[in-house]
Amino acid sequence: MPPLGDLERAIMDALWAAPEPMTAREVQDALAERELATTTVLTVLGRLERKGLLARAKDGRAHRYRPKASREEHIAELMRDVLDAAPDRSAALASFLGSVPPDDRSTLRDLLG
């Protein structure tokens, strides 16, 4: 899965934070500080949908968008993609674990054990 651009990430963050699916206008309002045109929001929503990250449902004249996976599931998939690209998976994991703070190492031990 390709990494998200800055605007794609901001839109996904808004959708992940929302309690229910959002229209393009609601996404635009959530990102008001960016002063985005509705067409820009619609273009990025379409791109995210084509990437398989969003589901779209008709709601009157508009569409509502929702993430297909949680933020945590998305991050886990990115981590798997990076590991799959490593020529030496063991070395990549060892390097990663060497950089993990002690609290996270403890959490990993708990999850594995």
Burial of 65 (0-12, 13-18, 19+ CB in 10 A): buried
For residue 92, the enclosing domain spans 71-112
For residue 1, tell me if it sits in a domain. Answer: no
Rounded to the nearest angstrom, the gap between the alpha carbon of residue 26 and the centroid of all alpha carbons in its chain is 18
Answer yes or no: are the C-beta atoms of 11 and 43 closer than 8 Å.
no
Mapped onto helix, strand or coil, the DSSP state of residue 67 is strand
- Provide the whole-model pTM: 0.86
Q: In CATH, what number is assigned to the domain containing residue 26? A: 1.10.10.10
Q: Each residue's pLDDT tens digit in the chain (113 positions)?
A: 767 999 999 999 999 999 999 999 999 999 999 999 999 999 999 999 999 999 999 999 999 999 999 999 999 999 999 999 999 999 999 999 999 999 999 999 999 98
Domain match, 62 and 11 both: yes
